[in-house]
């Protein structure tokens, strides 16, 4: 039995060492972080139950991977350790219990709490305030000399300024690529047929480990300090938090999120706060690090093989997981765009179960080199739609190439692919049932005609049963036609007809939006309505006239002109007007009726009295812009009940905060 377990431990150790090498040396992991964490935990559990089988070079006892030969090696004077992890509130309690047991007393512990930035750990050595060397962590004992590259990072100070700087000081921290820069970098790379990075961490690691520092200099990297190694000839505070503040005063960058908290409760509250704030941070984080704040206690607690006893990381739910591509479906959208959709082995990632992901277009399929049957990495970061970012393994024999259809999979019309446009489109227009269904769903959606009870399923049935072909046909429906539909019945049919009837009273901007003109969304529809005031003025507008409208450029103007020129669109509009759709007459607004012109508002939390969309409309009617995210350009944040991360950001940026009562007064 024990021979079997020893073999199991040896195999798992070897496997993890290979992953370490791919991750730390080659910047090309072949499994997700989540899968890696599970393997390491499995090994740790096996070793815990069989301590006699623990090897000194087991991945549970070592850090990272040995340095690459291309760079000069640097021996760390003090080892650069890793961190142990906790994954739940119970494990957090156990962490604190272990500390108390070790200290042989129960203290109310203060923790310095910090976001765990997902980047590359780096050591910066300053002598007499001058940066003389930068090194990667490597295996914790020996790292790589990356001084020339690190010196190209804009926020790394080459000289420290201030008082009481130790003669020798080693600052440790993380090099990251900020999310916005990572996204920009990847878009440019894809446009230039160059290699895109899987995630910001890989981008940071790949950029820093360039042999040509000229390349590193072009990459938007940033450094954030998290700790101190060597201190010679200098006194520092007895608090980790105060030490970090001291680093800041000398010019070293710190994350704005570092705080002091009390006990497990304080740590867990911070974890929840940051989990919510995660999407608004400029850099990617994969968890929180809790550190006993007192340096005296840290020294008393000491280290285990590869990690300090006084610190632990509480990981966030994984944003990347592995899955298998089972099949690809081709979806036809409202404007005929044909989108390949990946059908995946369901996997829990970023807090939801993902079983489908867009593959965008044929170029993306080619870029990923993806085939049916491949093992892939699914990424769902910051509430964005899931993406396939990498193919991990392809079994050449059993994998099947993805064949893009030559005709529309729904109506068999020809597919066109305009040069310079990545998207393939069905040319069937409203002949295509898929486009008809999508047009009707869009027409009745909340932002457009807001027909309650006309969801996806009903719209699809109405088209499939041949009851409607265009949105205008909705207004000719009878209860008798609706009742036999699936899950409909008399009551629902009556309600739906009442909703269709009441949708006739609308606004010009909503009607324009509902028509589904390409590239004309919510904001453009409003701009068109307020600029031209009548439907006929919009229908007849020349390209020159359209270009005078806010946010309308050549392409959108062309789509608007094309739409209104087409006979079948004119017929549908005529039929809709004849069905009784109407809106209040618009008048040119004088600026004195727009007292909030030029002001930007953000609405957050639950507004109890008027609701968010009503508040948005009221503010816009007075000329204000209502935005979805807080920035330094925001003038006011209206914070309702249970407001979260946007309120925190507003407080940090010093943006004026209004309660719902304040808002009501302002609107009056
Ligand atoms: O790898 C790390 C990332 C972040 C760390 C760390 C950290 O603090 C925010 N802190 C320590 C003490 C260590 N590694 C060893």
- What does the pLDDT look like over 461-485, one tens digit per residue? 999 999 999 999 999 999 999 999 9
- For residue 591, the model assigns a pLDDT of 63
> Of 311, 260, 253, which Cα lies nearest the Cα of 283?
253
pLDDT for 180 equals 93
285 lines ligand 1 (CB under 6 A): no
Q: Report, as an integer, the average pLDDT of 533-559.
A: 94
Residue 348: per-residue pLDDT: 92
Cβ atoms of 575 and 470 within 8 Å: the answer is yes
If you measure from the C-alpha of residue 173 to the centroid of ligand 1, how many angstroms do you get, rounded to a whole number? 7
Domain annotation for the chain: domains and CATH numbers: 2-53 (1.10.287.610), 73-315 (3.30.470.30), 320-393 (2.40.50.140), 433-578 (1.10.150.20), 591-667 (3.40.50.10190)
Q: What is the mean pLDDT of residues 207-233?
A: 94
Ligand 1 centroid vs 207 CA: distance in angstroms? Answer: 21
Residue 1 predicted with pLDDT over 70:
no
76 lines ligand 1 (CB under 6 A): no
**Ligand 1 pocket, residue 109 CB under 6 Å:** no
Q: Is 451 in the pocket of ligand 1 (CB under 6 A)?
A: no
628 phi, psi to nearest 5 deg: -90, -15
Q: How far is the CA of 217 from the centre of ligand 1 (A)?
A: 25
Please give the number of the atom of ligand 1 that sits closest to the Cα of 81: 15
Query: What pairing do the DSSP bridges indicate for beta strands 600-604 and 625-627?
Result: parallel
Tokens 């990251």, residue located: 176
Pocket test for ligand 1, best of 78, 115, 172 (most atoms within 8 A of CB): 172
Which of 278-282, 431-435, 638-642 has the least mean pLDDT?
638-642
Length of the chain: 668
Residue 555 CB-half CA count within 13 A = 4
Measured between alpha carbons, how far is 64 from 123 in angstroms, rounded to an integer?
14
Helix (H) or strand (E) holding 354: strand 352-358
Out of 121, 252, 253, give the residue to mutate to test ligand 1, the one with the largest number of ligand atoms within 8 Å of its CB. Answer: 121
33 lines ligand 1 (CB under 6 A): no
76 pLDDT higher than 70: yes
Dump the DSSP string for 120-147. Answer: EEEEEEEETTEEEEEEE-TTSSEEEB-H
Looking at residue 373, what is its pLDDT? 94
Please give the positions annotated as active site. Answer: 116
Atom of ligand 1 nearest to the CA of 121: 1
- Ligand 1: atom nearest CA of 80 is 15
* Dist. CA 221 → ligand 1 center (Å): 19
11-37: average pLDDT: 86
Per-residue confidence (pLDDT) for residue 104, from 0 to 100: 92
What is the residue with the minimal CA distance to atom 6 of ligand 1? Answer: 226
Distance 176 CA to ligand 1 centre (A): 14
Which residues lie below 8 Å from residue 50, measured CB to CB, with a gap of 6+?
2, 5, 6, 9
Is pLDDT at 221 greater than 80 in this prediction? yes
Place of tokens 């704030």: 277
* Overall average pLDDT of the 119-147 stretch: 96
């Amino acid at each position: 039995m024990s021979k079997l377990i020893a073999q199991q431990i040896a195999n798992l150790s070897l496997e993890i060492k290979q992953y370490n090498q791919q991750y730390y040396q080659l910047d090309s992991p072949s499994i997700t972080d989540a899968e890696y964490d599970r393997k390491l935990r499995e090994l740790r559990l096996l070793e815990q139950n069989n301590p006699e089988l623990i090897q000194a070079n087991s991945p549970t006892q070592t850090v990272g991977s040995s340095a690459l030969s291309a760079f000069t090696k640097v021996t760390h004077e003090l080892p650069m350790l890793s961190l142990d992890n906790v994954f739940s509130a119970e494990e957090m309690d156990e962490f604190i219990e272990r500390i108390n047991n070790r200290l042989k007393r129960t203290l109310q512990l203060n923790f310095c709490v910090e976001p765990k930035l997902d980047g590359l750990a780096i050591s910066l050595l300053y002598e007499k305030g001058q940066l003389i060397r930068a090194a990667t962590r490597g295996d914790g004992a020996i790292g790589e000399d990356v001084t020339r590259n690190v010196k190209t990072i804009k926020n790394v100070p080459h000289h420290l300024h201030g008082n009481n700087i130790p003669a020798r000081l080693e600052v440790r921290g993380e090099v990251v690529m900020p999310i916005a820069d990572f996204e920009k970098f990847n878009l440019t790379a894809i446009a230039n047929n160059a290699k895109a990075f899987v995630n910001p961490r890989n981008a940071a690691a790949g950029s820093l480990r360039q042999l040509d520092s000229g390349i590193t200099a072009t990459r938007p990297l940033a450094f954030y300090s998290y700790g101190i190694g060597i201190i010679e000839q200098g006194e520092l505070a007895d608090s980790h938090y105060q030490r970090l503040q001291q680093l800041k005063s000398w010019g070293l960058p710190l994350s704005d999120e570092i705080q002091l908290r009390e006990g497990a409760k304080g740590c867990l509250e911070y974890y929840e706060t940051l989990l919510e704030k995660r999407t608004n941070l400029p850099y990617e984080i994969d968890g929180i690090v809790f550190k006993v704040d007192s340096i005296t206690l840290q020294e008393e607690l000491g280290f285990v093989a590869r990690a300090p006893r006084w610190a632990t990381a509480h990981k966030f739910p994984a944003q990347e997981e592995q899955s298998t591509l089972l099949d690809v479906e081709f979806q036809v959208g409202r404007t005929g765009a044909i989108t390949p959709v990946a059908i995946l082995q369901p996997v829990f990632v970023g807090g939801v179960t993902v079983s489908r992901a867009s593959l965008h277009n044929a170029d993306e399929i080619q870029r990923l080199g993806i085939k049916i049957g491949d093992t892939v990495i699914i990424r769902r970061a910051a509430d964005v739609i899931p993406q396939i970012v990498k193919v991990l393994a392809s079994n050449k024999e059993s994998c099947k190439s993805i064949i893009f259809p030559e005709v529309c999979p729904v109506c068999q019309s020809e597919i066109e692919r305009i040069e310079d446009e990545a998207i393939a489109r069905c040319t069937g227009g409203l002949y295509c049932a898929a486009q008809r269904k999508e047009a009707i769903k869009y027409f009745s959606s909340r932002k457009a005609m807001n027909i309650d009870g006309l969801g996806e399923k009903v719209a699809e049935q109405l088209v499939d049963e041949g009851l409607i072909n265009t949105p205008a046909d909705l207004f000719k429906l009878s209860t008798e036609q609706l009742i036999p539909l699936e899950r409909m019945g008399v009551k629902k049919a009556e309600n739906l007809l009442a909703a269709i009837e009441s949708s006739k009273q609308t606004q010009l901007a909503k009607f324009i939006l509902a028509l589904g003109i390409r590239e004309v969304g919510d904001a453009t529809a409003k701009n068109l309505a307020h600029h031209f005031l009548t439907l006929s003025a919009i229908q007849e507008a020349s390209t020159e006239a359209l270009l005078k409208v806010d946010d309308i450029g050549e392409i959108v103007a062309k789509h608007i002109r094309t739409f209104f020129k087409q006979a079948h669109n004119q017929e549908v509009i005529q039929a809709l007007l004849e069905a009784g759709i109407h809106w209040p007459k618009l008048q040119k607004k004088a600026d004195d009726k727009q007292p909030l012109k030029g002001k930007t508002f953000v609405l957050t939390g639950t507004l109890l009295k008027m609701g968010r969309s009503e508040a948005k409309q009221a503010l816009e009617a007075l000329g204000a812009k209502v935005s979805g995210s807080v920035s330094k350009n925001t003038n006011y944040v209206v914070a309702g009940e249970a407001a979260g991360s946007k309120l925190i950001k507003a407080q940090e940026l010093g943006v004026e905060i209004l309660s719902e009562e304040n808002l009501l007064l302002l609107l009056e």
